Amino acid sequence: MCQCEQRRRRNGEKRRGRAQGRKGVVTHGRTSFSTHIKAEQVRKSKQKREGRERQSCRRKMVWSLLAVIVGSAVVLYVLYTAVQRSSWLALLWHAIIFEWVLDFVTRTSRPQRILKAVQKNATKGDPESVISAIDHYCRHKEWAMNVGDDKGLILDSVLTEVNPSTALELGTYCGYSTVRIARLLSPGSKLITVEFNPAFAAVARQIIAYAGLQDKITLVEGPSGDLIPKMKERFGIKSFDFVFLDHWKDRYEPDTKLLEDCGLLKKGTVLLADNVICPGTPEYLKYVRNSPRYESRYYKSNLEYSKVEDGLEKSVFLG
Ligand SMILES: C[S@@+](CC[C@H](N)C(=O)[O-])C[C@H]1O[C@@H](n2cnc3c(N)ncnc32)[C@H](O)[C@@H]1O
């Protein structure tokens, strides 16, 4: 080996020794060439192993993230489908959870938001535009317990067929069905609507006035059970031609019997009951379907602004 080559090797060994010394490898004097090669191999394989671990860690993170995104999408889709199809989940979500969250966030109530949507999007004195504004708001922004557009068409057709001079509505809420009914009444006909929640009644009054139907409608505040016996005396009503039942479901049957007892139903009076499937009125259905005093028929539809099954029961009082 020439001197040059020897010097080059010595210098190389010195450099490797210094490098190992920096990494904490204790070298005592002259380190053999093979030890350095081994250390170099160990270092390289360690670097490779660390690189592989980093890569697999990154891959795991990407897969975990993907799994979380796909999992959340599946859970949301299943929840959305369930809310669309299951009656109790739909009511729990729309009428309790979502309403509570929106009330909390906006510091307003659902009826107030519906009123705002009417004032923003409907034309004063035009009941059709009021109905459309509420339907649009409740279908696209926020569900509400109005009879809604689908069952509303059945309500329209039964009402047109009956063409009542005197009509009673139990359960006004924001006045959606009140406006829907009153707009189809012939001149001189009258609608009495009953609501026991003063906040709902206040909104309903404004919506009814916005639609320009205040002269056809009398909104009475209080519980139906207290007001039905006072109808004749307070409003000079002999009997009703049409009754729309849309208040709390456990009141349908007792209030129907009360209307009978107070002589407010006559032969041919039509009772139209909403939500007979969802949330359901089993006692009422059992009564009108089995009583010889009624001829009853079910109109299948769906819960307002959803795909959940619901329907209206039309029962003609036979006297
Ligand atoms: C389903 S909402 C009525 C919806 C309305 N008919 C519509 O389609 O736009 C039921 C309403 O009935 C009212 N209500 C429930 N039970 C009542 C009762 N016994 N007397 C008076 N109002 C009642 C509630 O406060 C609620 O506003």
Please, what sign has the CA dihedral across residues 279, 267, 290, 157? negative
| Tally of CB atoms within 10 A around 81 | 12
Residues 149 and 81 in one domain: no
Residues 163 and 65 in one domain: no
Residues 158 and 294 in one domain: yes
Nearest to 192 by CA among 201, 182, 183: 182
Indicate which residues carry an active-site annotation.
246, 249, 274-275, 304
State if residue 152 touches ligand 1 by the CB under 6 angstroms criterion: no
Instruction: Indicate whether 196 belongs to any domain.
Output: yes
Which CB contacts under 8 angstroms, 24+ apart, belong to 58-66?
none
Burial class, 192, CB count within 10 angstroms (exposed 0-12 / middle 13-18 / buried 19+): buried
Give the separation between CA 160 and CA 185, rounded to whole angstroms: 8
Residues 78 and 149 in one domain: no
Instruction: Indicate whether 192 belongs to any domain.
Output: yes
Give the separation between CA 120 and CA 226, rounded to whole angstroms: 36
Residues 63 and 211 in one domain: no
State if residue 281 touches ligand 1 by the CB under 6 angstroms criterion: no
Instruction: Indicate whether 61 belongs to any domain.
Output: yes
Report CA(24)–ligand 1 centroid distance (Å): 83
Alpha carbons within 13 A on the beta-carbon side of 70: 6
State if residue 197 touches ligand 1 by the CB under 6 angstroms criterion: yes
Instruction: Indicate whether 184 belongs to any domain.
Output: yes
Number of domains in the chain: 2
Residues 62 and 189 in one domain: no
126: which DSSP letter?
A: -
Residues 203 and 79 in one domain: no
Residues 153 and 80 in one domain: no
Residues 151 and 231 in one domain: yes
Instruction: Indicate whether 293 belongs to any domain.
Output: yes
Q: Could you list the pLDDT tens digit for every one of the 319 residues in the chain? A: 545 456 556 665 555 555 554 544 444 555 577 888 888 889 888 899 999 999 999 999 999 999 999 998 888 888 877 777 777 788 888 888 889 999 999 999 999 999 999 999 999 999 999 999 999 999 999 999 999 999 999 999 999 999 999 999 999 999 999 999 999 999 999 999 999 999 999 999 999 999 999 999 999 999 999 999 999 999 999 999 999 999 999 999 999 999 999 999 999 999 999 999 999 999 999 999 999 999 999 999 999 998 889 999 999 999 9
State if residue 145 touches ligand 1 by the CB under 6 angstroms criterion: yes
Instruction: Indicate whether 51 belongs to any domain.
Output: yes
pTM of the predicted model as reported, rounded to 2 decimal places: 0.78
Instruction: Indicate whether 15 belongs to any domain.
Output: no
Instruction: Indicate whether 119 belongs to any domain.
Output: no
Residues 285 and 214 in one domain: yes
- Name the residue at shortest CA distance from atom 1 of ligand 1: 145
Residues 197 and 54 in one domain: no
Q: What CATH number is given to the structural domain containing 190?
A: 3.40.50.150
- Can you give the residue range of the structural domain that contains 190? 145-317
pLDDT at 25: 45
